[in-house]
Amino acid sequence: DAGVTQSPTHLIKTRGQHVTLRCSPISGHKSVSWYQQVLGQGPQFIFQYYEKEERGRGNFPDRFSARQFPNYSSELNVNALLLGDSALYLCASSTSTDTQYFGPGTRLTVL
Amino acid sequence: EDQVTQSPEALRLQEGESSSLNCSYTVSGLRGLFWYRQDPGKGPEFLFTLYSAGEEKEKERLKATLTKKESFLHITAPKPEDSATYLCAVWEGGGADGLTFGKGTHLIIQP
């Protein structure tokens, strides 16, 4: 079975630009969560969606937004990029509120 | 104050030299504790979920245990392929349903 997939793999943007990251969950999973991981740190929770509704939000500014589609795939949008947004962005899927399985991540570099 | 603290930050072992990694947590209403393995530049790979004090789980050379304040990941007779960063995460009751991660333990197994 296919695991969690994310696109693109790598992305380079400049300050002030906007970026959209995409995630497809494991088949049968209805919940998607997004995390940001900077080098040397553990992942930090950004959002969780379940059945297309936002279930939770971490301590991130309003520049970060997300949505979930009827097929349970998800997008993470970041506006007005800052240098500090450079990180590995991880998507995780789960059946509801149990074990989360992570995708390979999208490496975002902001110049 | 960190809710999840992992120690040591880094650990170098000889092949076959058993050891333990520690994860201490200070959350209330723990709903689950998770261990993941992460290779450089990749997404975390799920290892174990523990739900209650006294619970133990094993997989190959790894064994995870849980008490009311901490969890241990025991590695028995490790091999070089066990080299990775091991992440601990907690799922807290009443929270935003996101996982709270520690910073990880970087484990190197030398042949």
Q: pLDDT tens digits, residue range B35-81?
A: 999 999 999 999 999 999 999 999 999 999 999 999 999 999 999 99
Nearest to B38 by CA among A37, A110, A109: A37
Q: Which residues on B lie below 8 Å from A55 (Cβ)?
A: 96-97
Q: Which residue of B has its CA nearest to A40?
A: B103
| Distance to chain A for B47, nearest Cα, Å | 10
DSSP string, B8-22: -SEEEEETT--EEEE
A73 residue type, one letter:
S
A8-12, A48-52, A65-69, B92-96, range with the lowest pLDDT: B92-96
Best B27, B99, B103, B106 residue to mutate vs chain A (most A CBs within 10 Å): B99
Contact A104 B42 (CB under 8 A): yes
Contact B41 A107 (CB under 8 A): yes
Three-state SS sequence of B34-81: EEEEECCCCCCEEEEEECCCCCEEEECCEEEEECCCEEEEEECCCCHH
| Position B102 confidence tier, pLDDT thresholds 50, 70, 90 | very high
pLDDT number for residue B92: 83
The beta-carbon neighbor of A90 closest among B34, B43, B96 is B43
Reported as a pLDDT band with limits 50, 70 and 90, residue B101 is very high
